[in-house]
Amino acid sequence: MTQREPAKPRDPSPGCDDPPAVARPWTRREAIGAGVGAISLAVVGCARLPPVREVPSQDGAVSLALADYPELQRPGGVLPVKPAGAKKPVMIVRGEGEQFSAFSLKCSHLGCTVGWNAEARSFDCPCHGSRYKIDGTVQKGPAKRPLTAYPVTSDGATLRFSIA
C-alpha cells in the first residue's frame, strides 16, 4: 500500500483571471477545493489585490514615508506591501483620520493569500470562500480566526509596523 503525502493547500494568485499555479494534474482534494473556490467567487464577486509593493524591512520592522504612498493619503485607502523576507503580503488600511491598520494576507483557514474585494471592502479568500471584514475579523467561514493584525503607529509622516 502506498502512502500519499497530504496535499498542501493550493495558493493561487488572488487575481481572478490568473491561471492556476499548479503545473501538474490536481489531486482529487485540490480539484474539489478549486470547485468550491470557483463557486464561492461566483457568489462573493471577484477579489484581486492592487499591485503589491516591495518594501524594505529590518528584522521584520517596516517604516514607510507616507508621502511616498498616495494610496494611504486618503481615508479608506489600502496598500498591499511585501516586506523583505515576509512570506505573505501585508495590507495596510487607512481608516478615518490618521488611523492605520495592517493585516497579514495569509488566510487563517489553510494559508492561501486572500484578495481584496474593493466593492465589498472585504478580504476574500479564493481557496474556500472565507471572507474577512476590513478590521480583519471573520465575516464568513470556513475560517474561524481573524487575519493576523500588526500594530501600526504613525506620526503623520511615517508609518511603522513590525511583522516579527
Summarize as ranges the residues that interact with ligand FES (CB under 6 A). Answer: 9, 107, 109-112, 125, 127-130, 142-143
Residue 113 DSSP SS3: strand
Q: CA 30, CA 20: separation in Å to the nearest integer?
A: 11
In the bound state with ligand FES, the residue whose beta carbon lies nearer, of 64 and 105, is 105
Single out the residue of 55, 56, 100, 53 nearest to residue 77, CA to CA.
100
User: Closest distance between ligand FES and the C-beta of residue 78, in Å?
Assistant: 19
User: Closest distance between ligand FES and the C-beta of residue 45, in Å?
Assistant: 15
In the bound state with ligand FES, the residue whose beta carbon lies nearer, of 77 and 142, is 142
In the bound state with ligand FES, the residue whose beta carbon lies nearer, of 9 and 60, is 9
Question: Phi and psi at residue 144, in whole multiples of 5°?
Answer: -115, -25
In the bound state with ligand FES, the residue whose beta carbon lies nearer, of 83 and 129, is 129
User: Closest distance between ligand FES and the C-beta of residue 124, in Å?
Assistant: 9
Q: CA 86, CA 113: separation in Å to the nearest integer?
A: 13
Integer CA distances (angstroms), 101 to 93, 134, 147, 159, in order: 5, 9, 11, 10
User: Closest distance between ligand FES and the C-beta of residue 72, in Å?
Assistant: 26
